[in-house]
Amino acid sequence: MSIIKVYIVDDHQIVIDGLETYFFGNKKFELVGFANSSKKLFKDLEKLKIDILILDINLPDLSGIQIARIVKQRYNSIKIVFLSANIDENSLNDSTEVGGMGYFTKDIDEEEFFIGLDKINNNESYYSKGIHNTLFGAYSNKTSKDEFASDILSQREVEVIKLFADGLSFKEIANELCISTRTVESHKKNILDKLELKNTIELVKYAILNGISSL
């Protein structure tokens, strides 16, 4: 199995130094480089093979969102995950719109950090525990614009949306419900289509607003 190459962009060296220690002795993921701004990143992209790019949202030149747009245009195979101390609805929505597959808080511990990277490497989205808690706090006291109707989703789809909202991966949901990951993918696509949702963040919001999430 080939080692997964990871690159970090953050303007705080202390954050990079802290995350760098996570990679010591790890045989699956390798930190191949880091940058404090987009300028160094784009130079390194010309010579390095990068599988996963971790981007801070707020940077001194281009924002992480702006960098992600450029990277996806030039290097579409690179998987992007955002890292930020601040969690707000606009940043979360922007991160998914530019192709981000995950969003980590800067207080993420080593175990969860690699759980997230592993899922992203397997083409699954991952949002750290702090993201789900923030969404719950922001939306739990709001009234849903559309009353949840049982005839919109099947009972199985309700089970799937609850597990996604609780942060489970495709594989974990498949194991929980004793179905294949392909079936889980099909259920998620049908749910998004039926509810006219765009991504996992909107799915989580819907679950919270309609009392489906157990968070």
Confirm whether 38 is domain-assigned: yes
What token pair was written down for 39?
Answer: 């300028």
Confirm whether 146 is domain-assigned: yes
Judged by average pLDDT, the poorest of 49-53, 75-79, 138-142, 161-165 is 138-142
Q: Which of 74, 104, 127 is where one domain is finished? A: 127
Q: Say if residues 108 and 116 touch (Cβ distance below 8 Å).
A: yes
Does pLDDT of 185 surpass 90? no
168, 122: one domain: no
Confirm whether 215 is domain-assigned: no
- Give the domain extent around 174: 137-209
75, 162: one domain: no
83, 142: one domain: no
Task: Work out the pLDDT band at 48, boundaries 50, 70, 90.
Answer: very high
Q: How many CB atoms lie within 10 A of CB 106?
A: 16
State residue 53's pLDDT score.
Answer: 97
Q: Which of 92, 127, 162 is where one domain is finished? A: 127
91, 176: one domain: no
Q: Say if residues 201 and 127 touch (Cβ distance below 8 Å).
A: yes
Confirm whether 132 is domain-assigned: no
